[in-house]
Chains A and B, each alone.
Chain A
């Protein structure tokens, strides 16, 4: 009897262990990319497991606040999830750490062709694709439509054709009065880098490196940008104090600012919700806010520069961990592709008012697209996306890491000091040039105009 029980237990154990060994477990770590993403991904995981019974998917759900720190720590310990959400700018650090995976080796060329090349370029280092894009976000400025019109802005023309820095300055001058700033930009702490990135494109600096892979922030264009920022901060048309990121849109909604940055197309929904809350008078509206219609606007372009828009790509990458094998990676990349394409991409992008960056996603998009949006804003967003310039191909992980280090340790700090009126544009530019020359050879930097 004892022997029989023992035998049965052993058989059960063998079956259990065998089943567990046959199952390939994929871990995915994601923050709430859109409002319902953390619920949606459970459904998509279940769908994928049903189609692939030998695969088990475990989802690690994080918050935006702790996602990057947690991911970086796990990756450094060799315990990275198989798939994780990242912004394109951090891919270099994972590749440099040796945990990035060239997914193009595990994905059919046909499937890879589903994704827009422009977006794939963001997910690539030295020509190797390390992840798949979910969307291209465009970051520019936005404002109160009524106030803008009162200040003499031809919104339709600006949205359709862009505008010059002089026109912008004239409008913010007209929009400034004792209760309202013509322009406000979140500039407190590290958000200063947003100002630099978003207005950098207006000065012709679409990336830290040009097509010849030379560092561009040492060019005269940078000086021109810094001088323009200096002029803006001294003009009195924008606050001369640090503005926290969370306050910028509130200032516009309460009538304390006419134009604000950074702004994205989806802020139209915030304005609409606030207007509805004001109508309903249910206490959920922003305190002291006024009814306002939102206008998404391009960043002004400096004289002689080609118009462009600052874009950033977020997506999912595959990462190496202690369990990584070739067979496992095939499943990982298949699930990665599943999450970034088709209906899944459309569901993620629709609430962000962003068109998917893959053909299959665009085909599914009409089913989920938000309706009732301002046509001018929709057209302006589409136009801005078309103006986004992807990073040049061939930037190495080391170049990317050095550019990030320069940005964090020198450019942003000097930019903060410039915004606080503590140094001049020339001082900031000299410091940036000196720091860049410590990292890059002189021949690897652009001097003079771009």
Chain B
């Protein structure tokens, strides 16, 4: 008798109504795209990571791709390079975009839009075209743009992309100076959502510009900061295009990032199994760091 009661309640709870059917129908397209273009490739990558991949007859080789990865010194160098890049670029990027958003906020809507458009412009330009412009800026000859600026201050020309002392710095500078548009727009949206009464209350308490930022803007933008931090770290770990276009990973592998290494293993050496193993390891690292970020920063964040 009681078993029947439970089954009945279960059926009622999970009974598919006509509304449910419509719901499933509406999300079916998105679900299908997700399954085909995200879920299947992930499972396929996991499977491939255990294979010596060949399009006509792959061979199962167990954990070899993973053990080979851990034996490869270049993999660890690439991980180190990616970490250094992430640790420098992501926080600075947040700081720059937060500061610029604060500066844009007091303007009228029209002026705000002009600035937003200016900062977002590099985001809609082709990454390859941008890289070509930056290659010109970083031209190591005395006639290179940056070198001419240095010459103005009587500093000798630098071998920007061809010296391991400056190559990573060059990539970081490029990322910091051309990739803030999206962050700025998100920060401005978050700041515009802060109620004016909070600023008025802070002013009544005698808070100046910096105190208002510290006690009002910063805490209320924390969810946005957390979001940008997590997506920034994920994007930074996956950085590929700049290194590929600007330095090819050199000199002396000083700018070989993990994304570039994976690409080379797959598409230059046809080691798809090894590339998949490295991609899975990268996904695990990114997931762990993201979880850590949520744990440390997300305690008092509500969504």
- Cβ contact within 8 Å between A405 and B269: yes
- Cβ contact within 8 Å between B57 and A98: yes
B116 is an interface residue with CB less than 8 A from chain A: no
- Cβ contact within 8 Å between B269 and A93: yes
Map CB proximity to B onto A401-419 as digits: 1 under 8 Å, 0 otherwise. 1001100110011101101
From B29-37, B154-162, B220-228, B287-295, the one touching the partner chain is B154-162
Q: Within 8 Å CB of A292, what residues of B? A: none
- Cβ contact within 8 Å between B250 and A413: yes
Complexed CA–CA distance, A414 and B249 (Å): 12
Q: How far is the CB of A315 from chain B (nearest CB, A)?
A: 19
Q: Within 8 Å CB of A192, what residues of B? A: 250-251
Q: Within 8 Å CB of B209, what residues of A? A: none
Q: Which of B163, B268, B270 contacts A422 (CB 8 A)?
A: B163
- Cβ contact within 8 Å between B164 and A420: yes
- Cβ contact within 8 Å between B157 and A189: no
Tell me the residues in window 109-162 of chain A with beta carbons closer than 8 Å to chain B beta carbons.
none
A16 is an interface residue with CB less than 8 A from chain B: no
Would A189 and B56 be within 8 Å (CB), given that A93-B269, A408-B264 are in contact?
Answer: no
Complexed CA–CA distance, A442 and B162 (Å): 33
Candidate in B55, B135, B163 with the most chain A CB atoms within 10 angstroms: B55
- Cβ contact within 8 Å between A401 and B251: no
Q: Within 8 Å CB of B55, what residues of A? A: 75-78, 97-99
- Cβ contact within 8 Å between A404 and B270: no
B252 is an interface residue with CB less than 8 A from chain A: yes
Q: How far is the CB of A94 from chain B (nearest CB, A)?
A: 8
- Cβ contact within 8 Å between B268 and A408: yes
Beta-carbon nearest neighbor of A191 in chain B: B248
Tell me the residues in window 176-221 of chain B with beta carbons closer than 8 Å to chain A beta carbons.
none
Q: Which of B160, B248, B252 contacts A417 (CB 8 A)?
A: B252
Beta-carbon nearest neighbor of A75 in chain B: B55
Number of interface residues of A (CB under 8 A): 40
Candidate in A69, A98, A320, A420 with the most chain B CB atoms within 10 angstroms: A420
Would A401 and B269 be within 8 Å (CB), given that A99-B56, A420-B164 are in contact?
Answer: yes
Q: Within 8 Å CB of B135, what residues of A? A: 244
B141 is an interface residue with CB less than 8 A from chain A: yes
Would A76 and B253 be within 8 Å (CB), given that A99-B56, A242-B161 are in contact?
Answer: no
A-B contacts, CB under 8 A, total: 95
Beta-carbon nearest neighbor of A416 in chain B: B251
Q: Within 8 Å CB of A75, what residues of B? A: 55, 270
- Cβ contact within 8 Å between B270 and A188: no
- Cβ contact within 8 Å between B250 and A412: yes
Complexed CA–CA distance, A422 and B247 (Å): 17
Complexed CA–CA distance, A210 and B251 (Å): 28
Tell me the residues in window 230-284 of chain A with beta carbons closer than 8 Å to chain B beta carbons.
239-244, 247
Tell me the residues in window 381-425 of chain A with beta carbons closer than 8 Å to chain B beta carbons.
401, 404-405, 408-409, 412-414, 416-417, 419-420, 422-423
Beta-carbon nearest neighbor of B165 in chain A: A422
Q: How far is the CB of B146 from chain A (nearest CB, A)?
A: 12
Map CB proximity to B onto A66-87 as digits: 1 under 8 Å, 0 otherwise. 0001001101111000000000
- Cβ contact within 8 Å between A413 and B251: yes
Complexed CA–CA distance, A99 and B269 (Å): 14
- Cβ contact within 8 Å between B163 and A409: no
* Pairs across A and B, CB under 8 Å, 25 listed: A72-B270, A76-B266, A76-B270, A93-B270, A96-B270, A98-B55, A99-B55, A187-B162, A188-B162, A189-B161, A190-B250, A239-B141, A240-B159, A241-B159, A241-B162, A242-B140, A242-B159, A242-B160, A242-B161, A242-B162, A242-B163, A243-B140, A413-B253, A417-B252, A420-B162
Q: A69-B267, A422-B164 are in contact. List 14 more A-B contacts (CB 8 A).
A: A72-B270, A76-B272, A93-B269, A93-B270, A99-B55, A188-B162, A190-B250, A241-B141, A242-B163, A320-B56, A420-B159, A420-B162, A420-B164, A422-B251
Counting from the closest, the 6 A-B pairs by CB-CB distance are A242-B162, A416-B251, A78-B55, A241-B140, A417-B252, A98-B54
